[in-house]
């Protein structure tokens, strides 16, 4: 059953990894999807083509979510192309791993600019559009923020990223309260250790397989694991769910508390 038939979704950072998984899962559920990217244009186009192959409309749009003007243009282009916006998934993030005492300030700023301010820009402007639609008699909307278990438990060399994740979880709860009168649901997903192309910057395939075995579920998560959760939150099945944070980590944090050897 296409639970999202007739809906339009925007997914930031959707050229690959978790964002691509989310975009495709929303399309499988019947949504048309705007695919945001800043880098990897060929992969973004591939995501758009995969959405089209599923029978849904797609729009690939380049925008740096850390730039407010670019986000405004992206939201406007999405509405102009599809006619409305029903689902916004703030997924785009950026991180450079450095110890605090060695962190280069430009790296810290860029991390916050994308991973925190970019989420704010996306959620704020999507909410403005959804409130306007509500006032025109259309249904509310769904906003999903992709955060991280690193909001809950902090690891070395990721201070700026973890600061940003803590902030966007607070943003999600605040917006859920403010937007409830408009029946706009705002929820947060905290993925655990997910097998994405970005992880290959830090680990070999063998290391990822070995360390994944330490997670209680026995493997790293996949983009599809996160995508299915987002599709649920974007559907009418989650109509009464707002202000929630759903941890999707295969027991990763439980394993840490129990002395497992998993870790970032």
User: Residue 84: which of 122, 31, 44 has the closest Cα?
Assistant: 31
Of the candidates 37, 161, 214, 240, the residue annotated as catalytic is 161
Known catalytic residue at 240: no
HEC readout, 50-94:
HHHHCCCCEEEEECCCCCHHHHHHHHHHHHHHHCCCCEEEECCCC
Active site residues: 161
């Amino acid at each position: 059953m296409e639970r999202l038939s007739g809906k339009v979704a925007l997914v930031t950072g959707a050229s690959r990894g978790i964002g691509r998984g989310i975009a495709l899962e929303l399309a499988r559920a019947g949504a048309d999807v705007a695919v945001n990217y800043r880098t990897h244009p060929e992969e973004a186009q591939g995501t758009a083509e995969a959405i089209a192959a599923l029978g849904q409309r797609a729009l690939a749009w380049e925008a740096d979510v850390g730039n407010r003007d670019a986000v405004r243009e992206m939201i406007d282009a999405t509405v102009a192309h599809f006619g409305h916006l029903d689902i916004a998934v703030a997924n785009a993030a950026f991180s450079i791993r450095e110890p605090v005492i060695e962190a280069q300030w430009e790296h810290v700023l860029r991390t916050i600019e994308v991973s925190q301010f970019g989420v704010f820009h996306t959620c704020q402007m999507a909410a403005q559009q959804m409130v306007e639609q509500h006032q025109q008699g259309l249904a509310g909307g769904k906003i999903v923020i992709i955060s991280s278990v690193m909001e809950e438990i902090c690891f070395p060399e990721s201070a700026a990223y973890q600061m940003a994740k803590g902030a966007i979880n607070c943003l999600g709860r605040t917006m859920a309260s403010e937007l409830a009168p408009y029946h706009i649901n705002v929820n947060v997903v905290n993925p655990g250790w997910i097998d994405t192309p970005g992880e290959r910057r830090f680990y070999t395939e063998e290391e990822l397989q070995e360390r994944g075995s330490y997670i209680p579920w026995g493997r790293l998560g996949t983009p599809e694991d996160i995508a299915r959760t987002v599709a649920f939150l974007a559907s009418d099945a989650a109509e009464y769910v707002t202000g929630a944070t759903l941890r999707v980590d295969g027991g990763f944090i439980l394993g840490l508390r129990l002395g497992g050897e998993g870790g970032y």
